[in-house]
Structure 1
Amino acid sequence: MFHMYLPIAGNSVNIILILGLGGFVGLLSGIFGVGGGFLMTPLLMMFGIPPTVAAASDSNQIVGASTSGTIAHMRLGNVDIPMGVMLLVGGVAGGTVGVQIIKLLKAMGNADFLIAITYVIMLGGVGGYMFWESLQGMRHDNGLPIEKKRPKPKGEEEKKSFVQSLPFQYKFEKSGCEISMLLPLAFGILVGILAAIMGVGGGFIMVPVMVYLLRMPMHVVVGTSLFQILFTCVNVTIMQAWSNHTVDFVLAVLLLLGSTIGAQVGTAVSKRLNADQLKIMLASLVLLVCVKMMAGLLMTPSIMVALKGGH
C-alpha cells in the first residue's frame, strides 16, 4: 500500500516516506538556506535508489525547495539579489576551475583521500567556530559573563582601508554594507572551487562566508543563499536530465511536493528564531555532517588503501 514504481531507478518506494524525506530536507532549506543534498542523497541510497539517480533527482528536489524558500524569503525582504548574483557568477566560474583541479588531483593519485580530508577539516573548522561564536552571543543576550574580546590587531585598520580602496564599490542595501563587487565575486569563486572539489552544492560553505567574511545579517544570508542555490541547481538538473538521463521524474515530483511544503514551514520557523539560535543550529548540523564524513573516512577500506599507495 502507498507504494509507487520508479521507472528510472527501477524499484518501488513508499510514497509517504519519500514525501516525508522531501519535507524534512525542505524544512532545513527554509531554516538555514542550504540545499540539503548532503543528507538527501545518502538517505535515498539507503532506500535502494541507485547513487547516480539519487544525486540527479536530488538536484531537482533542491530546485523545488530553494524556489519555494526563495519566494517566501523575498516576501520577508530577506534576499539581496545583487549580492546573490555576484556570488552566483563567482560560483559558476569557481566550479569550472574546481573540475580541472579534481582532474589534476586524480592524475597525482590519492584524490579521494585529499578531498575527504579537505571536507572534514573545513566543516569541522567552520562548524566549531560558528558554534563557539553563537554560544558567546547567547550568553551575552542572557546576561551571563563571556570571554573578553581580544583587542583588534594592529593591521585591522589597514585591512579595512584596503577593502575600501578596491574598485567597483557598491552599496548592497539588504546586506547593509558598502563593499567592492570584487569581494563577493572572489568569495564566490573560492566557494565554487571548494564545492566542485568536495562534490557538494556549496550552501554549507557559502553561508559561513556570507556571515563571517561579508558580515551579512543571518536572515538575509539564508534568503540570499537559497537564491544562489536555486540557479546553481537548475543548471545541474538540466545537464543531468539532458546528458545522463539519470533524473527519475516520478521520484523528483514526490520529493518536490514534500520539499516545497517543508521550505515554507522552514521559512516560518526561521522568522521566529534570532540570529544566534539559527547559527548554533546550523553549526550543530555542520558538525554532525563532519562526524559522519570522518566516520566514513575511517571506515572506508579503499581510501585507506589509497593512503598507503595501493590501487
Structure 2
Amino acid sequence: MQIYLPIAEISINAFLLLGIGGVVGMLSGMFGVGGGFLITPLLFFIGIPPAVAVATGVNQVVASSVSGVLAHLRRKTVDLRMGTVLLVGGIFGSALGIWVFSQMRSLGQIDLFVQLSYVVFLGAIGFLMLQEALRALLRTRRADAPPRRLHQHLWVHKLPLKMKFRTSGLYISVIPPVLVGISVGFLAAIMGVGGGFIMVPAMIYLLGMPTKVVVGTSLFQIIFVAAFTTVMHASNTYSVDILLALFLIIGGVIGAQIGTTLGLRLKAEQLRILLALLVLLVSGKIALDLLLTPAELYSISIDGRW
C-alpha cells in the first residue's frame, strides 16, 4: 500500500514504515534507548531526505519518552531539579542546533552535514560502548575482580555555583549538567535524536548520579527538548512530516512490547555489546553511502525544498 508523504515529497510503502517503526521500537524495548539514533539513519536508507528524517524522527523520541517518564514518576525515580537544569541547557543547545541546521540548509549542504554528523558521533559512541561492554563482560567472568566505583570526586565536583539535588543525593555545580544539556539539545536538532545514548553515560560517569534515577531524569529532559526541537523545525525549516511520524509511532509502540520481552532473556553485557555493534554497523553503512558513487549524481532543489 503506497502512501504519499507531503513534506518528504515521495511515495513509500506504508507497511515498510510500520516495519521500520516496529524494528526500532523492538530495539528500543530491548536495549532501553530512545531509538532516535537508529530510526533517522534507517529513514536515510529508504530515500527520505535527511532534513525530513531528522525533523520527523524527533517525534518518535517524544512519544516513546512520555510513557517511560510516567512509569518512573510512579516509582519516584525522577530527579525533577536535575532534569530542569538539564532542560535549561537543552533548550539553549536545541535553539543553537536549529540555527546551524538552517544555515547549512540555506547553503545546500544539510544532507552532507547530517550524514557526516552521524558517521562521526555514532562511530565514536559505538566504539566506546563496545570497549566498555567488553570490559564489563570480562569483569563478570573474573570472580576476583574488584567492584568498580561509579561515583568518584573529579574536577567537576570542584566547580562553583553548587546546588543540592536531593533525589540524586548530590551537591554539585550546575555548570556540568547545563553543558550536558546543551550538547544533547544540539544533537537533537542536528541529528533528530533524544541524546540518551550520550546523556545517560554522562550522568553516571561525569555527574555521579545513581543509576536508578538516571533513566527517568534523562527521559524527563528529553521529552521537552525533543518537543521544542520538533516545534522549531516545523516553524523554521518546515521539515516535519506528520504522516510519516504517525506510521513510525504506531509501529514503534507495537515493536517496543516485543523488544521488552526479548530483552529480558539476554544478559546486560550481551545487550550492550549487541547495541554497540548495531551502532557501528549503522555508522559504517552511512559512511559507505557517502563514499560510493550515488545512483543519481544531481538533484533539483527549489528554495531549500527537494
In 2, are the aligned partners of 1:73 and 1:267 still within 8 Å (CA)? no
Q: CA deviation at 1:187?
A: 2.1
In 2, are the aligned partners of 1:94 and 1:191 still within 8 Å (CA)? yes
Taking structure 1 as reference, are residues 281 and 273 closer, same or farther at Cα in structure 2, changes over 3 Å only? Answer: same
Q: CA deviation at 1:103?
A: 8.6
2:300 corresponds to: none
RMSD: 4.2
In 1, are the aligned partners of 2:50 and 2:111 still within 8 Å (CA)? no
Taking structure 1 as reference, are residues 63 and 199 closer, same or farther at Cα in structure 2, changes over 3 Å only? Answer: closer
In 2, are the aligned partners of 1:69 and 1:264 still within 8 Å (CA)? no
Give aligned pairs, total.
290
TM-score of the superposed pair, with normalisation by structure 2? 0.71
- Any unmatched runs of 5+ in structure 2? 295-306
Residues 1:260 and 2:250 aligned together: no
In 2, are the aligned partners of 1:33 and 1:203 still within 8 Å (CA)? no
1:90, 1:27 → 2: CA distance? 30
1:219, 1:289 → 2: CA distance? 29
2:121, 2:63 → 1: CA distance? 28
Q: CA deviation at 1:293?
A: 4.1
Bigger Cα displacement from structure 2, 40-49 vs 17-26: 40-49
2:115, 2:242 → 1: CA distance? 31
Taking structure 1 as reference, are residues 143 and 50 closer, same or farther at Cα in structure 2, changes over 3 Å only? Answer: closer
Q: CA deviation at 1:100?
A: 6.0
AA of the residue aligned to 2:42: L
Taking structure 1 as reference, are residues 269 and 297 closer, same or farther at Cα in structure 2, changes over 3 Å only? Answer: same
2:273 corresponds to: 280
SS in 1 for 2:69: helix
1:65, 1:99 → 2: CA distance? 22
1:250 corresponds to: 243
| Percent of aligned pairs with the same amino acid | 47
Q: CA deviation at 1:213?
A: 1.5
1:140, 1:44 → 2: CA distance? 37
2:111, 2:234 → 1: CA distance? 26
SS in 2 for 1:215: coil
Q: CA deviation at 1:254?
A: 1.9
Q: CA deviation at 1:249?
A: 2.9
1:167 corresponds to: 161
- Any unmatched runs of 5+ in structure 1? 151-155, 302-311
In 2, are the aligned partners of 1:22 and 1:258 still within 8 Å (CA)? yes
Taking structure 1 as reference, are residues 115 and 251 closer, same or farther at Cα in structure 2, changes over 3 Å only? Answer: closer
2:58 corresponds to: 59
Residues 1:6 and 2:4 aligned together: yes
2:236, 2:98 → 1: CA distance? 17
Aligned equivalent of 1:215, options 189, 205, 208 = 208
Taking structure 1 as reference, are residues 273 and 98 closer, same or farther at Cα in structure 2, changes over 3 Å only? Answer: same
AA of the residue aligned to 1:135: L
Residues 1:96 and 2:95 aligned together: yes
Taking structure 1 as reference, are residues 266 and 211 closer, same or farther at Cα in structure 2, changes over 3 Å only? Answer: farther
In 2, are the aligned partners of 1:6 and 1:251 still within 8 Å (CA)? no
